[in-house]
Structure 1
Amino acid sequence: MAIDIKVPQLPESVADATVATWHVKPGDKVSRDQNLVDIETDKVVLEVVAPEDGVIGEIIAEEGATVGADEVIGKLDKGNGGGSTDEKSDDKSDKKADDKSDKKADDKSEQKSEQKAEKKESASGSGEKLEVKVPQLPESVSDATIATWHVKAGEKVTRDQNLVDIETDKVVLEVVAPADGVLAEIKQDEGATVGADDVIGVVEAGGEAAAKDDSTSSASSDNGDTAESEASDSEVAGPAVRRLLAENSLKVSDVKGTGKGGRVTKEDVEKHVKEGGKKASSTPAKSEPAAAAASGDREEKRVPMTRLRKTIAKRLLEAKNATAMLTTFNEVNMKPIMDLRKKYKDEFEKRHDTRLGFMGFYVKAVTEALKRFPEVNASLDGDDIVYHNYFDISIAVSTPRGLVTPVLRDTDKMSIAEIENGIRDLAIKGRDGKLTMDDMKGGNFTITNGGVFGSLLSTPILNPPQSAILGMHKIQDRPMAVDGKVEILPMMYLALSYDHRIIDGKESVGFLVTIKELLEDPQRLLLDI
């Protein structure tokens, strides 16, 4: 029986989405709750999981396709996907077994000859010791933390293989091997604080991993792919997944990847941890059943805060304690923009190769309002007020490591299409952990859109040294009085938090009303009125 694979319900402020990545192909066998495909909206990535065990029958919406809520994007054949599958799988397994037995002798002889060649090459190797150093840190970052070592001392490494992740306040830097060889020494363990150019390890060029006797060479040949698999850890698992592995003292090779090309996903790690926890707890359960039962649902886990989380906590606390923060509210009728999007979204996407979302209008309206109210685009520096005659807007983006605010620069010179492309690029870089310090620097005003998560109303916290932040929220149909009649309109609350030390009530309310008027009558953005 075929089951529809559908796009999940999108937040009301999101009209459509894009198929980002399929992690399976037609004919692949999948298990219940396995991640099948990533659906990308303006700011978040939604994961669509398998509703049942079965086989992928058909992919209807390919990667890059624009889809809407509840749209069918694929078919799942429940069970094994057909009666002949078992027979085919048996035939394939028999053929594989025959092929393996036929090639085993040849493989062994080839492996032995390769081992001899490698020994000869290593004997003639230079043995030069190369230092593994912390890369140059941005000027605003004085130190960093060793997050995760992906190799152990004595293990073989290849040139440009990721050896260690270095975590700064906002970004994760990868340090790669300078040459083929062996990681001879680790000088700074995980959790250590290091500075730019500090030596954290030593790689011996052309060296070999731990020497083995001839008696164990046959056993080691069976495991000849181990070093290669460790070398490709960074290719089959992203930074967020590797950090989750490190927190649970696991390697990539310990977890079976179900993602595209065998990539290990967060779900794979969580599933492995759950299964491992059950197995590990089975032994003590026999000797102390009462203690095991008591601790079953009342376990605690203590995890150190990452540098990013520490920085977020520190800055939010500073914003509350060091500013005279106040929030003013308004509401906006989103029907004119929704009608405009509905009318032109297909033509816009064909012309500009990007979707027409809401954020382009939000940024345009904010930029125009900042021109009219320069106090909102200013900041305090000691006893001075600094007025910025340029328009750099920070966009709050949710990433696996936490909330970050990369910057769109010179938005007054950007078209709506350029804004949409810029926000999409920043969201993808944030999701993949590839945001740089240059992406984070600066910003005179912040926009945060809690509506994509379903937030109806909030009071956003300032992003120092900025003086204001605008919160957008969920678009919800509500009865409104229009010309003496009640109409059902798609309404959205706006919230502007500002520093009362520099912005007075008149300017803050005027700024928010201007945004409301521009969004309710988008033609104003074109006519500059």
Structure 2
Amino acid sequence: MSELIEARVPDLGSDSGVPVIELLVKVGETVKKDQGLLTLESDKATMEVPSPVAGEIVEIIAQLGDELSAGDLVARIKVSASAPTPAPVAAAPAPLPVPAKAPEAPKPASVAAAVPAASAAVHAPDNSELIPGKVPYASPAVRVFARELGVDLAQVKGSERGGRISKEDVQQFVKAALAGGVPAAGGGGGLNLIPWPQVDFSKFGPVSSEPLSRIKKLSGANLARNWAMIPHVTQFDEADITDMEIFRKKLGEEHKDVKVTPLVFLIKASVAALKKFPNFNASLDGDNLVLKQYFHVGIAVDTPDGLVVPVIRDCDKKGLIELSHELAAISVKAREKKLTGADMQGGCFTISSLGGIGGTAFTPIINAPEVAILGVSKSQTKPVWNGTEFAPKLMLPLSLSYDHRVIDGAAAARFTAYMAQVLADLRRLLV
């Protein structure tokens, strides 16, 4: 005797309408519990929907290109009576009916103001687009996405059936605006860049072409926006981590079940600096500065499909070993494409570490709506003058990019200097 189990989309955080980009199984195929059934990819992350039980695929409901939300039915799986039956996943409640062409509720100022307008062609929608007959044809998910980028959907041409606007249409519009391909309305205020050069590279020698991954395309537009709209300045410094490295290795010997990396010390030092300099733990909201009372740190993780930034929450309440376990788990989750939208949200400050690869310094791009990001390069042993002689010290390069609208150079220099002091003497974390 056997029964059918429904596989449904798990919690996606605040994401909805996430497209299916890959089907991983076929009807009649036998799957294991937690084996991926299909792959979803939002503008924040790629994740697989797991099978809730081992069994045989009887029916696949979701298809390529479908947009799914939490609780949507994916497939039906036949399992034997002896197999444990998982608790059913509650379907997402049906949305309340909305009158045709009703205007959307305005976005809260604290979120909408996080993406200031770069030009008159890329800006927050005005009331004229709410007039009946002028409402752009786009899904709610695309509308939210456009608002996050500060795009007026009335100026975007939809490429899908019936002129429906997709996320890719919004991305192309932003790229064109940043490249100067979209005329600025009303004169002035645009970036006024010359058009991107069009070159036939094959005239100069053999070439090949491959498409960018979806994550790279989406993150690319965000990075271009952040670089163009945020006045970046980068402060460089070095931290003496000689004693820290000795302590880190000792911790590693005592806790062999987890890898204790320098990154967890950087997280704790960042939290200490954010507490001492609260303007770095903030976001712009129009003419106001939102000062956060929590300490969630984003960690840039390199994956085969591109860069993702999962967030470790409440870092001020966790010790080095707990942070090490959580960092290892979230890194594996990122590389296995199992991050959800909730895993990528709520960051206050981001750390991008290239120490395992090399380099002496770099200029990281701020992850809006944050106001600062710390870049870390490879540590090197250098001769350092201690007042009487040169002594070998392990020095860690720090590169702090900051939003000059919020933070001035003196504050940035004090921030990095304080971080260097904390890393050099971990007893300061107790003060």
- Provide TM-score, normalisation by structure 1: 0.51
User: What does residue range 16-415 of structure 1 map to in structure 2 within 5 Å?
Assistant: 135=9, 138=12, 140-151=14-25, 155-158=27-30, 162-169=36-43, 170-174=45-49, 176=51, 180=56, 182-183=58-59, 188-189=63-64, 192=65, 194-196=67-69, 298=206, 300-303=208-211, 305-342=212-249, 344-345=250-251, 348-349=254-255, 353-415=257-319
Shift of 1:482: 2.8
Shift of 1:158: 4.3
Shift of 1:489: 2.4
Aligned counterpart, 2:86 = none
Paired letter, 2:335: R
Aligned partner of residue 452 in structure 1, secondary structure: coil
CA contact (8 A) 2:16 2:70 kept: no
CA spacing shift, 1:446–1:468, aligned 2, 3 Å = same
CA spacing shift, 1:521–1:146, aligned 2, 3 Å = same
CA spacing shift, 1:156–1:308, aligned 2, 3 Å = same
Aligned counterpart, 2:409 = 505
Shift of 1:131: 9.2
- Provide TM-score, normalisation by structure 2: 0.62
Shift of 1:357: 2.8
Aligned counterpart, 2:419 = 515
Partner Cα separation in structure 2 for residue 505 and residue 439 of structure 1: 32
CA spacing shift, 1:336–1:313, aligned 2, 3 Å = same
Shift of 1:394: 1.0
CA contact (8 A) 2:380 2:394 kept: yes
Q: Which consecutive residues of structure 2, in runs of 5 or more, have no partner in the other structure?
A: 80-201
CA contact (8 A) 2:234 2:400 kept: yes
Aligned counterpart, 1:457 = 361
Paired letter, 1:141: D
Q: What CA deviation, in whole Å up to 9, does each residue of 1:340-370 have, x standing for no partner?
A: 334x3355326xx434431222111111111
What fraction of aligned residue pairs are identical, expressed as a percent? 33
CA spacing shift, 1:502–1:150, aligned 2, 3 Å = same
CA contact (8 A) 1:348 1:354 kept: no
Question: What do you get for the CA RMSD once the two structures are aligned?
Answer: 3.4
Shift of 1:203: 6.4
Aligned partner of residue 147 in structure 1, secondary structure: strand
Q: What CA deviation, in whole Å up to 9, does each residue of 1:320-356 have, x standing for no partner?
A: 01211111111122212123334x3355326xx4344
Aligned partner of residue 351 in structure 2, secondary structure: strand
Partner Cα separation in structure 2 for residue 333 and residue 132 of structure 1: 52
CA contact (8 A) 1:345 1:355 kept: no
Shift of 1:387: 0.4
Aligned counterpart, 1:481 = 385
Q: In structure 2, which of residues 331, 343, 356 is the aligned counterpart of residue 427 of structure 1? A: 331
Shift of 1:492: 1.9
CA spacing shift, 1:200–1:423, aligned 2, 3 Å = closer
Shift of 1:199: 8.2
Partner Cα separation in structure 1 for residue 52 and residue 318 of structure 2: 40
Aligned counterpart, 1:291 = none
Q: What CA deviation, in whole Å up to 9, does each residue of 1:377-415 have, x standing for no partner?
A: 111123321101111111112223322111121111111
Which has the higher Rg, Structure 1 or Structure 2?
1
CA contact (8 A) 2:57 2:75 kept: no
Partner Cα separation in structure 1 for residue 40 and residue 419 of structure 2: 41
CA spacing shift, 1:139–1:348, aligned 2, 3 Å = closer
Partner Cα separation in structure 1 for residue 340 and residue 208 of structure 2: 34
Partner Cα separation in structure 2 for residue 198 and residue 357 of structure 1: 37
Q: What CA deviation, in whole Å up to 9, does each residue of 1:78-128 have, x standing for no partner?
A: xxxxxxxxxxxxxxxxxxxxxxxxxxxxxxxxxxxxxxxxxxx9xxx99x9
Aligned counterpart, 1:442 = 346
CA spacing shift, 1:485–1:369, aligned 2, 3 Å = same
Partner Cα separation in structure 2 for residue 347 and residue 132 of structure 1: 43
CA spacing shift, 1:186–1:368, aligned 2, 3 Å = closer
Paired letter, 1:310: K
Paired letter, 1:320: W
Shift of 1:515: 0.3
Aligned counterpart, 1:471 = 375
Paired letter, 1:144: V
CA spacing shift, 1:507–1:173, aligned 2, 3 Å = same
Higher relative contact order (CA 8 A, sep 6+): 2
Partner Cα separation in structure 2 for residue 201 and residue 332 of structure 1: 51
Aligned partner of residue 327 in structure 1, secondary structure: strand
Please identify which structure carries the higher helix content.
1
CA contact (8 A) 1:327 1:495 kept: yes
Partner Cα separation in structure 2 for residue 136 and residue 486 of structure 1: 58
Partner Cα separation in structure 2 for residue 177 and residue 468 of structure 1: 40
Ranges of 4+ aligned residues in structure 1 off by more than 6 Å = 130-133, 197-206
Shift of 1:513: 0.7
CA spacing shift, 1:181–1:311, aligned 2, 3 Å = closer
